[in-house]
Amino acid sequence: MTTHGTVRPGGRTARTRAAVREATLAELVAHGYQGLTVEGVAARSGVHKTTLYRRWGNVEGLIADALELASGEPWPIPDTGTIDGDLRALAREVLIGFTDPQAGPVATAFVAAAVQNPAAGRALHTFFRARHEQSAPIVDRAIARGELPAGTDSVEVVRVAIAPLYFRLFVTGEPIDETVADRAATAALTAARAGVFVTSPPPEPASS
């Protein structure tokens, strides 16, 4: 999906886009969302600011584009051999993603931008749809191994395993650590084993 200009892989437009994206991420790390400016991205990327304004519109457009590219990147989903190990690893990945000195400010800025700007919001939602789809095999494999009941909603298990981390980060402002991550994963797993996330069978078609 391309929203800005014509992108040919390896072409000049693609290289410009990659440079702008890298500069956007670097500026986010350096200054946070509040300090992100089109001028800063122009200076860092070497792309003239009039080009940035014309093709990306504003800082939210720059963030949305960086997120859109990030959505397409392959993501190493945990495969530890057990659902317990996989869900814990997944929650730890979220923890690390937001507390890492390099990645944390970028991830935080993405969510902050999504709350403030509809285009960034749509990009973040697309990003999570992709991540959810990529995470589903964790649960599907557990069902195949007999660890979880058939019919378990794979995405819902993943959501519940990581939601407490986001709740603390972006709503209550409470700290997150490995204990919080492990407990969230264990709570989701316990509920999943008990069948809480088994989706109902589809309703019978109405007789006509």
| Residue 122 CB neighbours (<10 A) | 14
> Which CB sits closer to its own copies, 42 or 184?
184
| Closest to its own copies by CB, 7 or 196 | 196
* Shortest spacing between CB 68 and its own copies, in angstroms: 15
Asked whether the beta carbons of 88 and 32 are under 8 A apart, the reply is: no
Instruction: Compare residues 18 and 187 and give the one whose CB is closer to its own copies.
Output: 187
CB of 158 vs its own copies, minimal distance in Å: 11
Rounded to the nearest whole angstrom, what is the least distance from the CB of residue 156 to its own copies in the complex? 7
Q: Which residues of 45-79 are buried (b: 16+ CB within 10 A; e: fewer)?
A: bebeeeebeebbeebbbbbbbbbbbbbeeeeebbe
Q: To the nearest whole angstrom, how small is the minimum distance from the Cβ of residue 13 to its own copies? A: 29
Of 13 and 37, the one with the shorter C-beta distance to its own copies is 37
- C-alpha pair distances (Å), 132 with each of 28, 44, 86, 129, 154: 25, 33, 14, 5, 9
Encoded amino acid at 107, one letter: A
SS3 state of residue 58:
coil
Q: CB of 191: closest distance to its own copies in angstroms?
A: 4
Nearer to its own copies, 31 or 132 (CB): 132
DSSP 54: H
Q: Cβ(184)–Cβ(165) under 8 Å?
A: yes
Q: How far is the CB of 60 from its own copies (least distance, A)?
A: 12
Task: Match 């690390």 to its residue by tokens.
Answer: 96
Give residues in contact with its own copies (CB under 8 A). 34, 111-112, 114-116, 121-122, 124-125, 128-129, 132, 156, 159-160, 162-164, 166-168, 170-174, 183-184, 186-188, 190-191, 194, 196-197
Locate 65 and state its tokens.
């584009």
The smaller minimum CB distance to its own copies, of residues 20 and 160, is found at: 160
